[in-house]
């Protein structure tokens, strides 16, 4: 039986993922200029895929394009962190609550947590951390809600990268991740949502103590149109 060859990523996609990786792991720092000719030489491509990749990254909020300054890595400040984490606090705990209520599999979250624990450097740990959080909200049963959280995922990772560079607090966060997953796997939808809310809020307060961050209230147990059906599936995951 002939094996099907693995599709080769386009040059633009390759450049996009590599620039993103370098930003989120601190190799490209906030405020650093990203010059098309320099990047093209580094990656061995023409300027066209670099230009397209930078446009995409500007759309996700990782880089800023200016007529006068060119393209730079987005600078992280208290206002930016507050905006991104406010969205996460409003949406992410609710998405996890729904995922647990509907008995969704959280195997991907468990795998990401293991990868984070076994990571040998900050880059691996940061990427595993992103995947852990995404694995909690993607199976919520509402694709639009998942896409909305995906929209801020890269910006949240940039905030984390900057915060970790100043104060490596991942051991504390890893413990909080384990507690969130324990509650979720035990079928405690509201407890897991509250733990996730507390985890996200405490991180941004520690990382930006002068931001005056006022977190939305933690989600409370409540009935939703899908709740009766979801309760029947408690304990299935």
Q: What is the pLDDT of residue 220?
A: 64
Q: What is the pLDDT of residue 194?
A: 97
pLDDT category of residue 232 using cuts at 50, 70 and 90? very low
pLDDT category of residue 236 using cuts at 50, 70 and 90? very low
pLDDT category of residue 34 using cuts at 50, 70 and 90? very high
The residue-averaged pLDDT of 125-139 equals 91
Give the whole-number percent of the chain exceeding pLDDT 70.
Answer: 81
CB burial of residue 197 (10 Å; 0-12, 13-18, 19+): buried
pLDDT tens for 80-95 read 888 899 999 999 999 9
- pLDDT higher at 22 or 216: 22
* pLDDT tops 80 at residue 212: no
If we measure between CA atoms, which residue out of 88, 100, 191 comes closest to residue 141?
100
Q: What is the pLDDT of residue 231?
A: 35
* pLDDT tops 50 at residue 19: yes
Q: What is the pLDDT of residue 144?
A: 96
Cα torsion at 116, 121, 124, 125 (round to 10°)?
40
pLDDT tens for 50-71 read 999 999 999 888 999 998 889 9
Alpha carbon of 16 to those of 8, 25, 237: distances in Å?
14, 14, 35
- Angle at CA 213, nearest 5°, toward 212 and 217? 140
pLDDT category of residue 6 using cuts at 50, 70 and 90? very low
């Amino acid at each position: 039986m002939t094996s099907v060859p693995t599709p080769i990523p386009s040059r633009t996609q390759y450049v996009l993922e590599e620039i993103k990786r370098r930003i989120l792991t601190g190799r490209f720092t906030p405020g650093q200029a990203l010059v098309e000719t320099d990047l093209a030489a580094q990656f061995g491509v023409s300027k066209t895929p670099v230009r397209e990749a930078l446009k995409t990254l500007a759309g996700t909020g990782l880089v800023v394009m200016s007529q006068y300054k060119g393209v730079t890595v987005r600078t992280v400040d208290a206002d930016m962190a507050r905006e991104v984490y406010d969205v996460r606090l409003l949406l992410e705990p609710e998405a996890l609550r729904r995922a647990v209520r509907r008995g969704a599999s959280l195997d991907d979250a468990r795998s990401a947590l293991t990868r984070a624990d076994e990571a040998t450097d900050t880059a691996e740990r940061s990427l595993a951390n992103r995947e852990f959080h995404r694995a909690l909200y993607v199976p919520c049963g509402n694709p639009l809600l998942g896409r909305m959280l995906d929209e801020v995922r890269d910006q949240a990772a940039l905030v984390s990268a900057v915060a970790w560079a100043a104060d490596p607090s991942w051991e504390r966060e890893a413990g909080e991740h384990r507690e969130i997953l324990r509650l979720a796997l035990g079928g405690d939808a509201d407890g897991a949502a509250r733990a996730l809310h507390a985890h996200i809020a405490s991180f941004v307060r520690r990382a930006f103590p002068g931001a005056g961050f006022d977190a939305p209230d933690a989600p409370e147990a409540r009935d939703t149109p899908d709740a009766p059906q979801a309760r029947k599936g408690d304990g299935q995951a």
